[in-house]
Structure 1
Amino acid sequence: MSGPGEVTLELDDIQRGILSPRPTPYAATYLAFRVDDPAHGRELMRRASAVVTSAADSASPLGETWVSVAVTSTCLAALGVPRSSLDTFAWEFRQGMAARAKALGDVGESSPENWEAPLGNPEVHVVITAVAPDPLLLETAVDRARPAYDNLPGVTAIWRQDCYALPTETEHFGYRDGVSHPAVEGSGIPGSNQLEVPLKAGEFILGYPDELGGTQTPLPDALGRNGSYAAFRKLHQRVAEFRRYLKDNSTDPSDEELIAAKIMGRWRSGAPLALAPRCDDPALGADPHRRNTFLYQRDDPAGFNTPGGCHIRRVNPRDTSVAGEVRLHRMIRRGAVYGPPLADGVLEDDGSDRGLMFAFIGAHLGRQFEFVQSEWINDSIFFGGGDAKDPVAGSADGTTGYTIPRRPLRRRLAPLPRFVVTRGGEYCFLPSLSALRWLGDLRD
């Protein structure tokens, strides 16, 4: 239920994958398609409107299982959306992620010419995502999506990425993942930080007032309203190199875990340094009601507990005094592991591809995803850290070390190599269920 002054979201028209946290554990599959025949592409949209799960369907008969459909700018053009309508979409979306690579720090090894085909190419038109609590139910979800694209020779499947989440909720570097998510006004879904006031719906859903009081809606309203944008990223993780860095910069195993916590901002259990500054607290890390309820500015403005340059303080500075308004840059993040884990204790790469498939969801690609990526992850001016980059996800080049604030002397670690390499990505639009039908009804 919405509280006083809150908007009422049309949940039955919004894709569930935009607002709903994923189940724990879960499995997921990303399927990419190319549209060769506009009529068949439009039929795919019409069929998809019948299989996509809405945000109102919080108690699906299949459990925490749902299907989402996203489209690229080239897809909208291929389906016959008029140029006058395309021009009202976010310009970053219209350019595509590959064209924005330099601004995102996707250079060198992470540049688009090194991406996994067909990611970043104009032939990626539709991305269907299926999510379920386990692999068996995932196949049920994929089967549910199959009628949308079966027997359409003008629609070709061109890529698939299977993902999963471990029962431990950790990713390949060993940290508990999926800890933080914002509350969205009118969604009925609580945020993970009880100290954070719910964000305006327009920060995540097009057609509603945002934090600045404005409303962003691509035209016509039937196409844009109740939709959102997603930035999909395939990120390869260099797990052996990350482990070696921790080992080489530490004095013993306990110091190794401390450095790991200072780099991330949380112990690997999920317990934040803000609440457990001296040693890990696994019980806290496992408690979703406590592990993310904290702020920085009042108790730790200098970063002696949670360094200003650590990963979680960069991507969400919370109440920290930084340039700009933090609430304008909040996103919904969805992460899923792909590839086999590297065996515990192994310090040499085994040649397997492993990493994370990320989806960053919001109504403002520029001031949400792109701002955080360029200004907070790949720069440090906002907190006085110079040109240092995020120690986990930044585009490090092996020339800048990592500094841990400490009394009486700060601790400086060796220059950081690049631990995460971009293997591909797409900017997509998540249409409402009625917009999928609208796309299905387009004519040449």
Structure 2
Amino acid sequence: MSAPMDTTLELDDIQRGVLSPRPTPYAATYLAFRIDDRTQGRELMRRAGSAVTSAADSSSPLGDTWVSVAVTRWGLEALGVPRASLDTFAWEFRQGMAARAGALGDVGASSPENWETPLGTTDVHVVITAVAPDSPRLEAAMDRARPVHDRLPGVTAIWRQDCYALPTETEHFGYRDGVSHPAVEGSGVPGSNQLEVPLKSGEFVLGYPDELGGVQAPQPTVLGRNGSYAAFRKLHQKVAEFRAYLKDNSTGPQDEELIAAKILGRWRSGAPLALAPQRDDPALGADPHRRNSFLYEEVDPAGFITPGGCHIRRANPRDASVAGAVRLHRMIRRGAVYGPPLPEGALADDGTDRGLMFAFIGAHPGRQFEFVQSEWMNDGVFFGSSDMRDPVVGSADGEFAFTIPRRPLRRRLAPLPRFVVTRGGEYCFLPSLSALRWLGDLRD
């Protein structure tokens, strides 16, 4: 599809939530809306166009506080976007996440019929996300965002999820989270791996050349260019079961931590096995300039240090020899914790819902999010092990064990239960600021 071959990102037209890393710590809220009246839905878009912060505003008086607006396929239909335009969007986005459940491994307890209402339904039209460094500033951001949807009786709030990131950056399984993010050409945001060449902007922002030299953007150009796709996921974590698995498969506390590191690919401090193979190094884990700058192929091609089946090597194989061109499957990943922590040391579930809210951002939902989820997380063929699934977020069913490569004999752990259950999700489109105004000016 033709589009200007512009290598300079128009940051003032791109929503800040697409490219800007979130602060640490932070508080966030996801709000979902249903559009019941097209005219008022368009008014929502007009208001959003003047309220959303752009990627050029990183030094604005609001600091690390911003609001993002995303629209589902059903939302675009409710706004009256013509069918000819809808047909130019990514196929996965047009289907919706619930329809893609089989490919994503959302089966059994994770299947859409078990999702939290109204996630995965055609009622979810608009998702507004607010992010701030703390709860008071989040409420202030919500107050600024409230006029966007307030006093619009034809726009109904149908779901809310509050979430947060701790100063320790840890999630409920105890690992430091949010360690890795790619460098994007033209964004001005450095990547976390100093050894990685920045990726082409068209991998994340529509309307620019990608790694293959192609340019993808829904039509008309004013709607598609400078936008992006996001895959939102609400994931429930079985924390007590995860802790019990580590304890039952270890010989003691030190071995338990080693198994936890082999399963993820990092010690819980964030220090990678690739740079700290023998013992944890909390100082390394806390250093954003060092903790993600490593490769695999030269020092650990067989995975004796960082197992090929561990979570981080699946999510981003880096320079390892695997099936699939790694740079074509990179994503920007945003994660936030929801729910209170399970008390330290508790091995019994307390019945409280807790987990992660994820947003995976990219320009190619099929070969980025869906490929990684189906081929790298829920299969093992890409690194030579057909029956292994990701030990942390894969769709395990108690049949497949996790194997730790070592000499002279590998170590085989007990079969993996499913530690993470999908509670809902949706594919969304993050329009540019000019596209939000265009949507607001639509006429029947």
Partner of 1:139: 139
Partner of 1:20: 20
Partner of 1:110: 110
User: How far apart are the structure 1 equivalents of 2:257 and 2:190?
Assistant: 31
Q: One-letter code of the match for 2:333? A: R
Is the 8 Å Cα contact of residues 6 and 208 (structure 2) preserved in structure 1?
no
3-state SS of paired residue (1:297): coil
Partner of 1:259: 259
Identity %: 83
Partner of 1:149: 149
Deviation at 1:7, TM superposition (A): 1.6
Residues 116-146 of structure 1: CA deviation (Å, up to 9, x unaligned): 0000000000000000000010001111111
Partner of 2:290: 290
Partner of 2:191: 191
Partner of 2:173: 173
Partner of 2:320: 320
Is the 8 Å Cα contact of residues 68 and 129 (structure 2) preserved in structure 1?
yes
Residues 174-197 of structure 1: CA deviation (Å, up to 9, x unaligned): 000000000000001000000000
Partner of 1:380: 380
3-state SS of paired residue (1:303): coil
User: How far apart are the structure 2 equivalents of 1:373 and 1:60?
Assistant: 36
User: How far apart are the structure 2 equivalents of 1:118 and 1:70?
Assistant: 16
Partner of 2:228: 228
Matches within 5 A, 1:67-106: 67-106=67-106
Residues 205-230 of structure 1: CA deviation (Å, up to 9, x unaligned): 00000000000010000000000000
Residues 37-95 of structure 1: CA deviation (Å, up to 9, x unaligned): 00000000000011101000001212200000000001101111000000000010000
Is the 8 Å Cα contact of residues 178 and 334 (structure 2) preserved in structure 1?
yes
User: How far apart are the structure 1 equivalents of 2:222 and 2:263?
Assistant: 45
Question: Structure 1 residues 224-233 or 379-388, which shifts more?
Answer: 379-388
Question: Structure 1 residues 142-151 or 310-319, which shifts more?
Answer: 142-151
User: How far apart are the structure 1 equivalents of 2:160 and 2:19?
Assistant: 23
- Which stretches of structure 1, 4 residues or longer, exceed 6 Å deviation after superposition? none
Partner of 2:334: 334
User: How far apart are the structure 2 equivalents of 1:298 and 1:6?
Assistant: 36
User: How far apart are the structure 1 equivalents of 2:324 and 2:257?
Assistant: 33
Partner of 2:280: 280
3-state SS of paired residue (2:418): coil
Partner of 1:439: 439
Partner of 2:346: 346
Unaligned runs of 5+ in 1: none
Q: One-letter code of the match for 2:262? A: K
Is the 8 Å Cα contact of residues 271 and 291 (structure 1) preserved in structure 2?
yes
Partner of 2:49: 49
Is the 8 Å Cα contact of residues 234 and 356 (structure 2) preserved in structure 1?
yes
3-state SS of paired residue (1:159): strand
3-state SS of paired residue (2:229): strand
3-state SS of paired residue (1:426): strand
Partner of 2:10: 10
Structure-1-length-normalised TM-score: 0.99
Partner of 2:430: 430
Deviation at 1:102, TM superposition (A): 0.2
3-state SS of paired residue (1:413): strand
Is the 8 Å Cα contact of residues 33 and 159 (structure 2) preserved in structure 1?
yes
User: How far apart are the structure 1 equivalents of 2:300 and 2:6?
Assistant: 33
Deviation at 1:255, TM superposition (A): 0.1
Deviation at 1:386, TM superposition (A): 1.3
3-state SS of paired residue (1:260): helix
Residues 328-359 of structure 1: CA deviation (Å, up to 9, x unaligned): 00000000000000000000000000000000
Partner of 1:355: 355
Structure-2-length-normalised TM-score: 0.99
User: How far apart are the structure 1 equivalents of 2:38 and 2:9?
Assistant: 32
Q: One-letter code of the match for 2:408? A: P
User: How far apart are the structure 2 equivalents of 1:413 and 1:385?
Assistant: 15
Is the 8 Å Cα contact of residues 6 and 185 (structure 1) preserved in structure 2?
no
User: How far apart are the structure 1 equivalents of 2:147 and 2:428?
Assistant: 22
Deviation at 1:6, TM superposition (A): 8.6
User: How far apart are the structure 1 equivalents of 2:272 and 2:327?
Assistant: 21
Is the 8 Å Cα contact of residues 330 and 368 (structure 1) preserved in structure 2?
yes
Q: One-letter code of the match for 1:388? A: M
Q: One-letter code of the match for 2:241? A: E
Is the 8 Å Cα contact of residues 6 and 186 (structure 1) preserved in structure 2?
no
User: How far apart are the structure 1 equivalents of 2:113 and 2:40?
Assistant: 30
User: How far apart are the structure 2 equivalents of 1:60 and 1:306?
Assistant: 41
Partner of 2:365: 365
User: How far apart are the structure 2 equivalents of 1:112 and 1:376?
Assistant: 22
Residues 375-419 of structure 1: CA deviation (Å, up to 9, x unaligned): 000000000111210000000000111000000000000000000
Is the 8 Å Cα contact of residues 333 and 359 (structure 1) preserved in structure 2?
yes
User: How far apart are the structure 1 equivalents of 2:6 and 2:157?
Assistant: 41
User: How far apart are the structure 1 equivalents of 2:385 and 2:260?
Assistant: 19
